[in-house]
Amino acid sequence: MSPAADGPGRTLAGVALEHPLLNAAGTARTLDEVARLARSAVAAVTVGSYTLGERAGNGGEVYASREGYAVNALGMPNRGAAQLREELPRMAELAHAGGKPLVVSVAGFAPGEYGELAGLAAAGGADLVELNLGCPNVWDDGAQKRIASFDPALVAASVAAAADASVPVGVKLSPLADPVLLAEVAAAVGASTARFVVSCNTFPNGLALRPDGRPALDVRFGGVSGGAMKPIVLGQVAQLRAALPHAVDVVGVGGVRRGSDVHDLLQVGATAVGLATAFWDRGEDPAVFGDLLADWVA
């Protein structure tokens, strides 16, 4: 299917998209990065994840790319609410000048924080707000935090806290391997005001090694992304599409490297498709979006 055949009318939570290809969260956080994406072929510009407080992120080696997969533990470095207040309006201007909606990914550590962050994002000009409930790489005081999307009640409470945002809100989930839990999370999302689901964040706590057997990442474990995620995300999107109400859109993210990956995710019910690792592995070159689009059309 070509973008032309795709036709006008593709929307994500009611927001028009020229075509289905998005950058996934984690690939842009600064004004410069937004400006570069705004000039690229991507259909919307996604920024974040932003937290309320400033975060330095994890130290040392935080990204390891291997044949067919990558492992990362960036730990969401960002300048926090100050950055949202100071830079989001300009980010929205840049994205809109490029004819693209702005998606803002936020990550709280309690439902109330999601509410506050969603309000800040909407006030700053976001067209869509993505609640990142699936980040596996958050360490504080040597301990790893709970991944919110494994707790259906926490998912429901986080969306409820953001219900007053003036723009559509969606949730980004961790891959849910247990089918019963997936059904419970889908039921919680379906009963909430969430308008879209992004599936999925990285697969938690993978381990990549250096040739000498030491962990490639300084915090040891990291989220698995890239090609290895393709069958996982296809399965997640297909199951979520079947379990969610029709009005909730599903965005497929994981292992998208070529046009056939876009095609396959749309086939199983994704409304849009995002990528991160393919962008990182191209040296953060936004031309990856135009190339992938051309490969999808071909």
Ligand X SMILES: Cc1cc2nc3c(=O)[nH]c(=O)nc-3n(C[C@H](O)[C@H](O)[C@H](O)COP(=O)(O)O)c2cc1C
Confirm if 153 and 188 have CB atoms less than 8 A apart: yes
197 lies in the binding site for ligand X (CB under 6 A): no
Phi, psi of 137 (to 5 degrees): -105, 30
| 4/117 with CB nearer ligand X | 117
Binding mask 140-159 for ligand X (x = CB under 6 A): --------------------
Nearest residue to ligand X, by Cβ distance, number only: 26
Q: Is 135 a catalytic residue?
A: yes
Q: Which residues contact 173 (CB under 8 A, 6 or more apart)?
A: 133, 134, 149, 155, 185, 197, 198, 199, 200, 201, 236, 240
Q: Which residues pair with 54 in a beta bridge?
A: none
24 lies in the binding site for ligand X (CB under 6 A): yes
| 12/70 with CB nearer ligand X | 70
Q: How far is the CB of 279 from ligand X (least distance, A)?
A: 8
Binding mask 223-262 for ligand X (x = CB under 6 A): --xx--x-----------------------xxxx------
Catalytic residue among 47, 135, 176, 219: 135
- Dist CA 197 CA 249 (whole Å): 6
What separation in angstroms does the CA of 269 have from each of 70, 239, 249? 26, 9, 9
Stretch that binds ligand X, among 72-80, 182-190, 207-215, 259-267 (CB under 6 A): 72-80
Measured in Å, how far apart are the chain's first and last C-alpha atoms?
A: 9
Q: Which residues of 155-172 are buried (b: 16+ CB within 10 A; e: fewer)?
A: bbbbbebbeebebbbbbb
| 40/202 with CB nearer ligand X | 202
Confirm if 100 and 45 have CB atoms less than 8 A apart: yes
What tokens does 126 get?
Answer: 């976001």
- Dist CA 77 CA 225 (whole Å): 18
Q: How far is the CB of 29 from ligand X (least distance, A)?
A: 8
- Dist CA 292 CA 201 (whole Å): 21
199 lies in the binding site for ligand X (CB under 6 A): no
Pairing label, strands 69-72, 63-66: antiparallel
| 7/155 with CB nearer ligand X | 155
| 7/28 with CB nearer ligand X | 28
Of the residues 13, 21, 25, 95, which one makes contact with ligand X according to CB under 6 A: 25
| 52/275 with CB nearer ligand X | 275
Binding mask 90-129 for ligand X (x = CB under 6 A): ---------------x------------------------
Point out which residues bind ligand X (CB under 6 A).
24-26, 48-49, 63, 70, 72, 74, 76, 105, 132, 135, 172, 201-202, 225-226, 229, 253-256, 275-278, 280
Q: Catalytic amino acids?
A: 135
